Amino acid sequence: MDKKKILIVDDEVALRRALVDSLKVEGPFELFEAGDGEAALELIRKEQPDLVLLDIAMPKMDGMEVARKAQAEKLLEKTKIIFLTNSTDISQIATAVEVGSSDYLIKADWDIKDILSRVLEKLK
């Protein structure tokens, strides 16, 4: 069975590293990282991940724009997106759903274990 590919996109290095380290323990995943939206879009094009953990507020290109562009290029047909954000803005949540979000997690409300369980659930 092929390893599932997961792309972790967040400009907060500590959170990104914690997610990568935790996912390494959880299973045989192929893990990729990006610290901004432009790098994320390039990795989505190149690697076609099964799941993207995507921060919304980032430099160069925000997560919503990454999702819109990837969707326009038909790159997300088999990819699930879990948005990670600190925003509780209802309109932003609605936009996330429009651009193909599989889930939307507010960082302050979740710990790493919760995020991991959502990732594993989405990859089933």
Q: Which residues, listed in sequence order, are joined to residue 81 by a DSSP beta bridge?
A: 52, 101
Assess whether pLDDT exceeds 80 at residue 2: no
pLDDT value at residue 83: 86
Phi, psi of 30 (to 5 degrees): -95, 115
Q: Report the domain count for the chain.
A: 1
pLDDT value at residue 5: 96
CATH code for the domain in which residue 67 is found: 3.40.50.2300
What is the identity of the amino acid at 10? D
Q: Domain range for residue 100?
A: 4-122
Q: What is the pLDDT of residues 24-56, one digit of tens each?
A: 888 789 999 999 999 999 999 999 999 999 998
Q: Which residues, listed in sequence order, are joined to residue 83 by a DSSP beta bridge?
A: 54, 104
Q: What is the pLDDT of residues 84-101, one digit of tens each?
A: 877 666 666 666 666 666
3-class state of residue 48 by DSSP = coil
Q: With bands split at pLDDT 50, 70 and 90, how would you rate the model's confidence at 66?
A: very high
Residue by residue, what is the 3-state secondary structure of 76-95?
CCCCEEEEEECCCCHHHHHH
